[in-house]
Amino acid sequence: MMINSARPPDPTSAPHAHPAPALRADALTVTRGPRTVLRDLRFTVPRGQITGLLGPSGCGKSTLMRSIVGTQAKVTGTLDVLGRPAGDPALRTRVGYVTQAPSVYDDLSVRQNLDYFAAVLSPTSPAAARRADVDRVLAEVDLTTHADALAGNLSGGQRNRVSLAVALLGTPELLVLDEPTVGLDPVLRRDLWTLFHRLAARGATLLISSHVMDEAERCHRLLLMREGEILADDTPDALRERTGADTVEEAFLHLVDEAAAAAEHRPPTQRTEGAKETTTR
C-alpha cells in the first residue's frame, strides 16, 4: 500500500474507530532532581490513529514516552494507557516501544534477536507460531534478506528497523516510537510511514515522536510540545487554520511566539512564581 499524498487518510471512517482513547493524561507531571521536566499535561490520544509528538530536542518528548510505557520515575498525576494505569503488567503484550537507541544484541543475528524477544514476549506460544510472527515482522520492516546478518554489522538505519520489528511482535494495540526515522534516507522514511499508516488502518494506535516538522503532515493528529508543556493538541489542518499558516512548522513557530508573548504579559509576580516552580518542584 503506497500513500501518494502527504495528507494521511481520514481515520474516522475506519471500522476500528473506538470512542475510548488509547491514552489519557490529566495533571501529568514529571520531576528530575530540582527540575520539572513535564508540567501539568492534559491530553488524550485517540485509538486507531497516528498521533505525532513534535517539538525541539529537550522539550520532554522522550520523558513523556517513558512515562507512557511505565519506565519513568517520579511521575505524578493520571496517565491511563488502553484503560489501565501506565506501567500495569497487563500492558506488557499490548504496548510496543522503540527507543531512540536501537535495543538489539550485536552478537546475535537479526532473526536470533527476534526469536529471543518473541520467546520472552510469548513463552507459552508454540514455536511454529513464534516463527511465523518473526517472519511477519521481518517482512514488514523489509529485513527478510538480512535475517541472518549479525545485528552488529548492520547500518544504523537497519538496526533501527530491527528494534521496530521487535516492537511489532505480537501485534500490539499501541506503538510508542521515539524518533524512529532518525538517520534514515528519504526512501526508507517513506516506506516506514507507509507501514505506519498500514498499521493504523488495521486498528493500531501509534504515538510517534519527531523534531522534523515535515513528518507532522503525515499524522492524523498532533501534540506540539515545548519546554515540558503542550502548546497544541489538534489535527494538522486545524492547526494551520487556527494560526493562518501554510505549514505545520509555521503554525508551531506562531504558537511558540504566542506563548512567549503571553508569558511576557503576565504580571511579574506570576512570572516569578512560574520560574520558582520550575526549579523547586
Q: Which residues pair with 78 in a beta bridge?
A: 26
Pairing between β-strand 75-81 and β-strand 23-32 as defined by DSSP bridges: antiparallel
CB of 148 closer than 8 Å to CB of 172: no
| H-run or E-run covering 79 | strand 75-81
Mark whether 148 and 198 lie in a shared domain: no
Q: Which residues pair with 24 in a beta bridge?
A: 44, 80
**What is the domain range of residue 76?**
43-94+173-262
Per the structure block, which three cell numbers stand in for 225?
Answer: 510540545
pLDDT at 225: 93
Per the structure block, which three cell numbers stand in for 49?
Answer: 490513529
pLDDT, tens digit (0-9, with 9 covering 90-100), for 199-244: 999 999 999 998 888 889 999 999 999 999 999 999 999 999 999 9
| H-run or E-run covering 98 | strand 95-98
pTM of the model: 0.85
Q: In whole numbers, what is the pLDDT of the chain averaged over residues?
A: 87
Q: Return d(Cα 134, Cα 214) in angstroms, integer.
A: 32
Mark whether 190 and 231 lie in a shared domain: yes
CB of 225 closer than 8 Å to CB of 53: yes
Of the three residues 122, 146, 171, the one that is the final residue of a domain is 171
